[in-house]
Each structure stands twice: as C-alpha cells, then as structure tokens.
Amino acid sequence: MKSYLIVFSLFILSGSLFAQSTAEERMRAAERRMEEAQARMDAKIREMDQKMNSRNSNPGSSFDDSGFSSPNDDDDFGSGFGSNMDDMKRRMDEHRARMDAEIEAEKRNSPFANIDPNAPFVASSGSTRVQLRILKDGQPVSNCDIIVQINGQEIGRGTSAYSGYVDIYTDNLSSHSIDVYGRKPGYTFTMKGIITLDGNLYADVDSKSKISR
C-alpha cells in the first residue's frame, strides 16, 4: 500500500512539473517571437531610411522593392514598401498595446493594488514554513515584498533577503500549487499558475518567464 501511494505521489508531482515547464516554455517562446519581430521591424526601418535618403538625393527617381532606381512613381513606392512598413508598425503597436494592457490588468488584480507602498510590510506567521528564492533572469532579487496566494486567497507574506530567499509562514497551505506576487521600487511581477512547491515546500521563483515592470 505504501509503495502504491509513493508511486501515485511521484506521478502527480511529475505531472505538475511538466505543466509548469510547458507553461514557462510557451512564455519564453512568445517573448522570443516578439524580439524577433522587433528585430525584423528595426531592419525594415533602417532599410527604408536608406532608400529614403537615396531618393531624396535623386528627386527625379524612386526606388522599388528591389532597391534599384526606377522612373518616378510615388504611388508605387507608397503602396509597396511603405504600405508594408505601415502594416508592420500597426501590428507591432497593437501587440505592444495588448502587452501593456495585460501588464496593467495584472497590476490591478495584484494583491498589492490596495496596499500603500509606504506602509510597513509585515511578514505573516504560522506553523508551516514555505521557502522561496526570488530571482530575475537567474539573479537573486533582494528586499522584494512577496505575497503568496492559493485560489485567490492570501496564505502568507514576507520580504526576500540579500540572497533572494524568503520564508513564508502560514497555517493555510492547502495545496503545493501557489501564486506568487512580488513588489519592490521600480519592479513588480506576477507568477500565477506555474509555481509548484517541492516535497520540502521550496520553489525557485524566476520572473524571467514573465514580462515584469
């Protein structure tokens, strides 16, 4: 019977770790796609600037998409390369607007939204200790106020030390799947639905998989 319970527990834990890993990989992939799109747009803008500079130095001709001069045809220039750039800029602006809206929504829904940043942040107490290490791009984040929730209910809070570690004491640890919210001057993050404590009630919380401000 004990062997069965151990195997079952390991199966559940491995499933949770796989789900966490998959979610983080999706977020990192989305960030990479955005960076690649930004790089393509920057390259297009540089190319357009070069063509415009060449065009201004030779007012009697324009440049087609191949980069070679052609008889003056403003409509062709504007509806070709220019319209593509306008469309790319529009889509990038829309994407940035969506990302900004998501970040602002996270801030509004954060438990810190109704906490005065100048008020003392008092650590919780309890008989169960949860230990987290707060990181950003793999580096420890110190003096970061942390609130931990389960199913939308706060179970504890604390402030990270110089090494990034923070102990959260609680009497309400009903699950190993937790949501973590962090705040320090100039930096906030939300890690919701992707942090799972191990058997020692420990987890690394690295916000590199989230856009944070």
Residue 129 confidence (pLDDT) above 80:
yes
Domain boundary (109, 143, 160) is at 109
Which run of H or of E encompasses 159? Answer: strand 153-159
| 125 and 101 housed in the same domain | no
| 37 and 134 housed in the same domain | no
- Are residues 168 and 97 in contact, defined by beta-carbon separation less than 8 angstroms? no
Q: What is the pLDDT of residue 134?
A: 96
Exposed / middle / buried, residue 123 (Cβ in 10 Å: 0-12, 13-18, 19+): middle
Lowest mean pLDDT among 46-60, 97-111, 159-173: 46-60
Number of domains the chain is built from:
2
| 199 and 159 housed in the same domain | yes
Residue 8 confidence (pLDDT) above 60:
no
Exposed / middle / buried, residue 160 (Cβ in 10 Å: 0-12, 13-18, 19+): buried
Q: What is the pLDDT of residue 211?
A: 39
| 86 and 15 housed in the same domain | yes
Q: How far apart are CA 88 and CA 70, in angstroms?
A: 25
3-state secondary structure of 199: coil
148 falls in which pLDDT band (50, 70, 90)? very high
Domain boundary (75, 109, 143) is at 109
3-state secondary structure of 110: coil
In whole numbers, what is the pLDDT of the chain averaged over residues?
A: 76
Each residue of 150-205: pLDDT tens digit?
999 999 999 999 999 999 999 999 999 999 999 998 888 889 899 999 999 999 99
Domain boundary (109, 139, 157) is at 109
| 134 and 177 housed in the same domain | yes
Residue 62 confidence (pLDDT) above 80:
no
Higher pLDDT, 5 or 88: 88
Q: What is the pTM of this model?
A: 0.54
Q: How large a percentage of the chain has pLDDT more than 90?
A: 35
Residue 94 confidence (pLDDT) above 80:
yes
Mean pLDDT within 19-25: 56
| 74 and 129 housed in the same domain | no
Lowest mean pLDDT among 24-28, 88-92, 123-127, 190-194: 24-28
| 143 and 194 housed in the same domain | yes
| Domain that residue 153 falls in | 118-209
Distances (CA, A) of 99 to 48, 65, 72, 93, 212: 27, 32, 41, 10, 11
| 123 and 71 housed in the same domain | no
Residue 125 confidence (pLDDT) above 80:
yes
Q: What is the pLDDT of residue 207?
A: 73
| 129 and 197 housed in the same domain | yes
Q: How large a percentage of the chain has pLDDT more than 70?
A: 63
Higher pLDDT, 123 or 71: 123
